[in-house]
């Protein structure tokens, strides 16, 4: 166990444990000899840090750490799961989840109030009143900030 002092906050930081792994890869290097495999579960060293309370005696801390320390399990592949194409009983159809992100009205409320469901060319859905008002004032999609005109919005028929 090792205790280090953090210069930025003037507090002691205790290194609880280090799990070895393959060497570090310099991400600032422009050489394409190595690559970072983000799909690997055990690809780097893991350092566990904990704040050290200066008022707790070191011996008590060490005893507590030994009691709390456990073997870090190795992560393997994710277990296979069977996903059925059928929705679960009582699950709402996808149509019930469509809503305008501006006024937060669901598709049923939009239809009842005689508004239309509209889509932008960037693929985002809004009710007709909200998207027309937003394009008039801001001239961009409220979701992705892409520049839009009223001619780039069209009704969606479900």
Mean pLDDT by 10 residues, the chain (158 residues): 56 62 61 56 58 65 66 57 56 67 90 92 93 93 92 90
- At residue 129, the pLDDT reads 94
Say if 83 falls within a structural domain: no
CATH number, domain at 117? Answer: 3.30.40.10
Say if 109 falls within a structural domain: yes
Q: Please give the tally of structural domains in the chain.
A: 2
Q: Range of 135's domain?
A: 96-155
Same structural domain, 9 and 59: yes
- At residue 63, the pLDDT reads 72
Q: CA–CA separation, 87 vs 96, rounded Å?
A: 13
- At residue 28, the pLDDT reads 65
Say if 81 falls within a structural domain: no
Say if 77 falls within a structural domain: no
Per the structure block, which two tokens stand in for 92? 């709402």
CA distances for 114 relative to 65, 99, 117, 129, 157, angstroms: 64, 15, 10, 10, 14
Same structural domain, 10 and 63: yes
- At residue 98, the pLDDT reads 87
């Amino acid at each position: 166990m090792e205790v280090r002092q953090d210069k930025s906050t003037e507090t002691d930081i205790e290194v609880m444990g280090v799990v070895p792994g393959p060497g570090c890869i310099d991400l600032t290097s422009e050489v394409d000899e190595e690559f970072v495999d983000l799909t690997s579960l055990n690809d780097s060293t893991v350092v566990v840090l904990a704040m050290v309370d200066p008022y707790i005696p070191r011996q008590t801390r060490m005893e507590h750490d030994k009691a709390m320390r456990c073997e870090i399990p190795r992560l393997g592949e994710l277990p296979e799961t069977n996903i059925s194409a059928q929705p679960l009983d009582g699950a709402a159809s996808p149509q019930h989840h469509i809503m305008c992100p501006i006024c937060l009205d669901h598709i049923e409320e939009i239809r009842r109030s005689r508004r239309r469901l509209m889509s932008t060319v960037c693929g985002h859905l809004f009710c007709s009143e909200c998207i027309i008002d937003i394009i008039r004032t801001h001239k961009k999609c409220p979701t992705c900030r892409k520049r839009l005109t009223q001619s780039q919005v069209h009704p969606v028929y479900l």
